[in-house]
Amino acid sequence: MEEQNESIIWLELMASKGIKALGQKLQSKCGKKLIITGQQGIAHYPESGIMAPDEILDLLEHMPKFAENQYYYAKNQQRLVCKVILEDEPDGVLLLFWEQVDNEDIDLICKNIDQAQLALRWYLRGHRRFAQRLHEQRAAFFEGVFIKHNIGVESLLKEQGINIHSDREYAVMLMDMGEDKPLIPPADFRAKLLQFRQRHQTELIYPLEWNGLYLVILPGIYSQQEFNFLSAGKHEEVFNRWQQLFSEAYKVDVSIGVGMSYPLVELHRSYHEARIALMFRKIRGEQGFVQEFAELGIFRDLFGCEQERIIRFCHQTLDKLLAYDHDCDAGLQITLRTLMNTNFNYKLTAEKLFVHVNTVRYRCDKIAQLLNIDLNEPDTRFNLYAALRVGDVLKALNLLQPGYVGNIGKHKTGGTQTLF
């Protein structure tokens, strides 16, 4: 009965004052320093939402598996690790790391954790439900602002704690941490950018995380008088510093895409441009770069056209070639791409494709015949290159869907239209 009463006391403390008060009481009763994290190393106590210290992350990576009714003691480090689990919640785990623990301290610590276990489970369940609700709200918010853009942008942003003004322009910056991106809590990401802002006296609105990318809403940087300190190449320096900062901090090659500045109600345009700028380099296998949409040259104007017009340009330029490739498996598209990459060096193209140079010449003649063009004309070559590059970017962003239209009963005969 006494243990049950103790559990209720711990639960009441958690319910009324939260995880910080409970952690402080555990530390006081056990006389040892405590760090509480999730199983991915994101801290709950003494700070919340940041990554745990490196020594804790290292221990997380190397410690053996153990059950809730067990503990792990790292003797050389004098660290004790205990666990609280929600059986019905996937990944519902709290890990309690105790420091400077001797063998004789373990019983006392385990006894206090046993008494506080109900309160810790209650916290964990509530925390996971809150995190899920927050995730759903954030997803709806991002979709409304950056995809549908048919709702009150300013009020929605303010709901997320982002203080912006309808009479100013803003730009979107996207940061891609790569395929093997580390788990970065939003609080840690924000903290690093805010430290950078203070150190370099730059203005930053708010960093967010969505769809695996880190998104930053920036004040207008291309034309407004009050941001002249970012003109004439200065903004490039700022972005390069950001790229270097995060690459070094998280030991990855961070890639950055930046859209142009727009009034608040058109913020979705900057987001769309930032995605294009990022993907323009990523689809070529590049990493660790900064690409501004404004610096895409002629492609800036191409991507600035209405989407339907861009897609129509891609179809009109390449559809006959792609349809023939689909029907006859002729390898014309890969040959054209390789020719572009080798500056129409037939011998080098043949080597890269492992075919005879005469095969390359035959395919070139076939491409010219299908499209009714002269491949020796520089303008023609540029149009083909532009259609391929634009089409690849649109396809990677799911704005141009691969597929074809065929004749029923004649799967491999004419009448098809291939979409990249």
State the pLDDT confidence band at 201, using cuts at 50, 70 and 90: low
Please provide the CATH number assigned to the domain covering 307-418: 1.10.10.2840
- What is the pLDDT, as a whole number, of residue 169? 83
What is the distance, to the nearest Å, from the Cα of residue 21 to the centroid of all Cα atoms in its chain? 34
Quote the longest CA-to-CA distance of the chain. 92
- What is the pLDDT, as a whole number, of residue 375? 92
- Per-chain mean pLDDT for the chain: 82
- What is the pLDDT, as a whole number, of residue 78? 92
Q: How many CB atoms lie within 10 A of CB 345?
A: 14
Q: What is the CATH architecture of 149-301?
A: 2-Layer Sandwich (3.30)
Q: What's the half-sphere exposure (Cβ side, CA atoms, 13 Å) at 304?
A: 11
Q: pLDDT by residue (tens digit) across 95-149?
A: 999 999 999 999 999 999 999 998 998 888 887 775 666 556 666 666 666 766 6
Burial of residue 4, with CB atoms counted within 10 A of its CB: 0-12 exposed, 13-18 middle, 19 or more buried: exposed
State the pLDDT confidence band at 81, using cuts at 50, 70 and 90: very high
Contact 224, 169 (CB under 8 A): yes
Contact 243, 290 (CB under 8 A): yes
Euclidean distance between CA atoms 288 and 252, whole angstroms: 8
Domain ranges for the chain, please list them: 2-130, 149-301, 307-418
State the pLDDT confidence band at 226, using cuts at 50, 70 and 90: very low
State the pLDDT confidence band at 159, using cuts at 50, 70 and 90: low
Contact 336, 384 (CB under 8 A): yes
State the pLDDT confidence band at 223, using cuts at 50, 70 and 90: very low
- What is the pLDDT, as a whole number, of residue 213? 76
- Backbone torsions φ then ψ of 269, nearest 5 degrees: -65, -40
Euclidean distance between CA atoms 77 and 124, whole angstroms: 27
Dihedral of the alpha carbons of 350, 356, 358, 360, in degrees to the nearest 10: -30
Q: Which two tokens stand for residue 144?
A: 């409304």
- What is the pLDDT, as a whole number, of residue 67? 87
Contact 128, 38 (CB under 8 A): no
Say whether pLDDT at 215 is over 80: yes
Burial of residue 291, with CB atoms counted within 10 A of its CB: 0-12 exposed, 13-18 middle, 19 or more buried: buried
Helix axis angle, 307-328 relative to 332-341, nearest 10°? 120
Q: What percent of the chain has pLDDT over 70?
A: 78
Q: Which two tokens stand for residue 9?
A: 């006391």
Who contacts 405 (Cβ-Cβ below 8 Å, separation ≥6)? 415, 416, 417
- What is the pLDDT, as a whole number, of residue 283? 92
- What is the pLDDT, as a whole number, of residue 409? 61
Contact 270, 260 (CB under 8 A): yes
Q: Which two tokens stand for residue 166?
A: 């309808």
Who contacts 198 (Cβ-Cβ below 8 Å, separation ≥6)? none
Q: Which two tokens stand for residue 108?
A: 């006392």
Q: pLDDT by residue (tens digit) across 242-292?
A: 888 888 888 889 999 999 988 877 888 999 999 999 999 999 999 999 999
Q: How many CB atoms lie within 10 A of CB 312?
A: 12
Euclidean distance between CA atoms 145 and 400, whole angstroms: 22
Q: 35-39, 237-241, 346-350, 374-378: which has the minimum mean pLDDT?
A: 237-241
Average pLDDT value for residue range 156-184: 75
Q: 3-17, 185-199, 372-386: which has the minimum mean pLDDT?
A: 185-199
Q: What percent of the chain has pLDDT over 90?
A: 40
DSSP 194-245: HHHHHHHT----EEEEETTEEEEEEE--SS-GGGGGGTTTHHHHHHHHHHHH
Q: 51-65, 100-114, 197-211, 344-358: which has the minimum mean pLDDT?
A: 197-211
- What is the pLDDT, as a whole number, of residue 42? 83
Contact 381, 340 (CB under 8 A): yes
Q: pLDDT by residue (tens digit) across 309-336?
A: 999 999 899 989 988 888 888 899 999 9
Average pLDDT value for residue range 137-162: 62
Euclidean distance between CA atoms 48 and 38, whole angstroms: 11
Q: 377: part of which helix (H) or strand (E)?
A: none
Please provide the CATH number assigned to the domain covering 2-130: 3.30.450.40
**E strand spans, 86-164:** 93-98
Say whether pLDDT at 3 is over 60: no
DSSP state of 135: H
- What does each C-alpha distance from 46 to 35, 97, 250, 378 come to in angstroms? 6, 11, 22, 64
